[in-house]
Amino acid sequence: MTILQHKRIIVGITGGIAAYKAIEFIRLLRKSHAEVRVVLTPAAAEFVTPLTLQAISGNAVSHSLLDPQAELAMGHIELAKWADAIVIVPASADFLARLTVGMANDLLATICLATAAPILLAPAMNQQMFAQSITQQNLTALSNRGYRFVGPNSGEQACGDMGFGRMSEPKEIYASLEDLFAQKQDMKGLSVVITAGPTQEAIDPVRYISNHSSGKMGFAIAQAFSERGANVTLISGPVNLATPANVHRIDVTSAQEMHQQALKSAVENQIFIGCAAVADYRVTQVAEQKIKKSSDEITLTLIKNPDIIADVAHLQSKRPFTVGFAAETQNIEQYAQDKLQRKNLDMICANDVSSGKVFGKDQNSLHLFWRNGNIILELDDKKNIAKQVVKHIFDRFRQSK
């Protein structure tokens, strides 16, 4: 028996080339003995046919808000009440925009407005469309309202572009749906603050010092804590990622800004996790105007930034359980254990970032250390790694109490 057996799932399909992947997703649902109803937008019907989807799902396909026969029984309301969950695969930029502003101009959007069931969105679009600020604002708004997301991934797209916007694979979407029904709410009342992403240290109005951190690992940890009921604050450097559902996000740019927000949040939370790749140094004097190219060499004088994780770990009052991250290129175990002791941490998560192994990637492996133990988390998707990290942090936190 699977967790999705007898669950009533509406699969919504919007217009996009990734619509063909919905067929495999529906097949996985049917294999797990879920009940499936498919709802198409008018644009989606140009990519996948109702006849194919009817054969795969075992039910008639709904695609018109103005179907006289269906609406005799208020079909859109009936479907909205029937569903245990709604999965939009793919969720196009157009559909996300319409959902954000509450439009009900097709059957699928109307069902989403009329349902009390959780909604899982699998965005898919051109990488430039995904990167647009309005799309990111829509994703953040929907996330803050409780909509859940899987993906998108980074990779080659049908148009030939490379970047974020490629829809998650059907197995990934299926796993996220399983997680939605399997969520433990054993962390209610727990408060957690997490730093994520890079910082940017200004040189002049157009240049800065930074690093390759994507923020994916920190965002995945925030999502994993939130899914188990914790109250999560996420302090993020500049990244192109949607805020996880039910997570309070604070955006910062520089290490000093992150330091200020971190110390303020640390005393208000029970667990502090420093996952951000904070710049070690900043320029002593930021130029007010763009520095012009005048010679073959330029000299910048740098000054050390505050050590956020060490300052949090050495708080004299209201000190949270403190977890650090160590991104190393050599001597991983030695450097991690040294930081654990020197910075007064309760736990440290170390990873090998040599040769670009981690930054910007969707997978990671970690070696966790604490005072009297350690464990290796083998290479896996960052979301799965995050769930394991959260489990071990929570176990150590409870033992410390």
Binding annotation: 274-276, 280, 290, 306-309, 325, 339, 343
Instruction: Give the whole-angstrom CA distance, residue 261 versus residue 78.
Output: 47
Let me know if 112 is a catalytic residue.
no
Distance CA 387, CA 223 (A): 9
**What is the rounded CA–CA span in Å between residue 55 and residue 36?**
11
Cα angle value 218/223/225 (rounded, 5°): 95
CB 14 within 8 A of CB 88: yes
**How many other CB atoms sit within 10 Å of the CB of residue 188?**
9
**Residue tagged active-site, from 113, 159, 162, 375:** 159
Unique residue bearing structure tokens 């109307």: 110
The torsion angles phi and psi of 285, rounded to 5 degrees, stand at -130, 110
Compute how many other C-beta atoms are within 10 angstroms of the C-beta atom of residue 50.
Answer: 15
The alpha helices in 58-146, defined as continuous H runs, are: 68-71, 75-82, 93-100, 107-114, 127-131, 133-144
CB atoms within 10 A of CB 262: 26
Residue appearing with tokens 């997301």: 149
Rounded CA separation 24/66 (Å): 28
Binding residues for CTP: 274-276, 280, 290, 306-309, 325, 339, 343
Neighbours of 170 (CB within 10 A): 19
**Amino acid (one-letter) located at 363:** Q
Question: Which residues form the catalytic set?
Answer: 159
